[in-house]
Amino acid sequence: MKRVTFAKIRSEDAGPVIRRLMDEGFVDVHAKIGKDGSYRYVPILPERLGEEPVSSMELVEGDAHTLDRRPPQERIGEILGPELSRIVPSKWETVGDVVILRLGPECWSHRREIGRAYAEVLGAKSVCADVRGVSGEFRKPSMEVLYGSDTESVRLENGIRYRFDVTKVMFASGNTDERMRMRRLDCCGETVLDMFAGIGYFTLPLAKFSGARRVFACEKNPESYAYLARNIKDNGLADVVIPILGDNRDLPGRAFADRILMGYVQTTSEFLPAALRMLKPGGIIHYHDTFYVNERDRRLEEIFDAACGKDGYEVLSVREVKSFAPSVSHYVADVRVRPSRPSCSR
């Protein structure tokens, strides 16, 4: 193997130093940058070794591991061979250092070998197969671990750290735009209630960026709740967010929330009476549900007419969050409940 000289750089200083070495053309771009617990090892071109700033850095010699610049799919194919490479997925989801695959039945008898190949090429600590999507009241995923054992990871998204175990709680990667929208809302001084908080999907971006004074985040599944509580701390939001373990219909209180998030689909309307009890007159509900595309407006009207009375609300906007099934989409409607609606006095 080719030998190369590396600049040994403390990990905490590595970002700007490596950028500078790259920008100024010191780095051998055909060799890999190495790392251990405390240091990064940056391969330096031999002809630049005598120049500042490299000449005053600590330098060590080692084997050059060449940087394989081929697409991962090609490298996975090389490990698995031509037959398997024709049937393995060309897409995958990454959650930090965990990879999630959807395998067809024809791959199943080779799943361990496939998991190992994806782990090796993608540098993942674990690889899981998404077997049957999510199900039940808690939207629990059904995953099989193909490679590795540690399936807890951190997804970094738009300034938020979401820690969770991919085999225990769901994460809807298709809802990114809605999580981003929660970050952009203007909730200055508001009290917000997230009735279906999960691990903090909407709670965390809203609490961090929208200016809300207080966010109550209710979650019924103890496993999700544990991650919610941890994520609130890890994102520095303990002063703003109060996590609550339990069923949102059992929350006490009336007319305390300026805004309520109802990030749940298919049975959401069953939770509207509880939401309307807790919403302040004139408050806003972000109401999620799934509808046939051509029935969306009629169904929304039926649901809110029944809950608030015909003139008791105003639909401010409706957006598609994502496609859910053929001709069915997941929507979110922003609905203002009028102060004068008849049932407000309940």
Point out which residues bind ligand SAM (CB under 6 A).
Answer: 137-139, 170, 172, 175, 196, 198, 201, 218-221, 224, 247-248, 263-264
| Pick 58 or 177: Cβ nearer ligand SAM | 177
Please, what is the minimum distance in Å from the beta carbon of residue 158 to ligand SAM? 13
Please, what is the minimum distance in Å from the beta carbon of residue 166 to ligand SAM? 13
Please, what is the minimum distance in Å from the beta carbon of residue 273 to ligand SAM? 12
Type of residue numbered 177: D
| Pick 76 or 279: Cβ nearer ligand SAM | 279
User: DSSP for 205-266?
Assistant: HHHHHS--SEEEEEE--HHHHHHHHHHHHHTT-TTTEEEEES-GGG---SS-EEEEEE---S
Q: What are the DSSP E strand ranges found in the chain?
A: 3-10, 34-35, 39-44, 59-63, 93-95, 98-101, 126-135, 140-147, 152-157, 160-165, 191-194, 214-219, 241-245, 257-262, 279-292, 313-325, 328-337
Strand partners of residue 151: none
Please, what is the minimum distance in Å from the beta carbon of residue 294 to ligand SAM? 24
Ranked by CB distance to ligand SAM, the top (closest) residue is 263
* Integer Rg of the chain from CA: 25
Largest CA-CA distance found in the chain, in angstroms, rounded? 81
Please, what is the minimum distance in Å from the beta carbon of residue 170 to ligand SAM? 5
| Pick 113 or 247: Cβ nearer ligand SAM | 247
SS3 173: helix
SS3 content of the chain, % helix, strand, coil (to 5): 35, 35, 30
Please, what is the minimum distance in Å from the beta carbon of residue 31 to ligand SAM? 41
Please, what is the minimum distance in Å from the beta carbon of residue 157 to ligand SAM? 11
The Cα–Cα gap between 61 and 41 comes to 10
Please, what is the minimum distance in Å from the beta carbon of residue 219 to ligand SAM? 5
| Pick 170 or 279: Cβ nearer ligand SAM | 170
| Pick 73 or 329: Cβ nearer ligand SAM | 329
| Pick 126 or 248: Cβ nearer ligand SAM | 248
The CA–CA distances, whole Å, from 247 to 66, 168, 221, 225, 260 equal: 54, 19, 9, 12, 15
| Pick 42 or 215: Cβ nearer ligand SAM | 215
| Pick 183 or 220: Cβ nearer ligand SAM | 220
Sign of CA dihedral 162, 165, 170, 176: positive
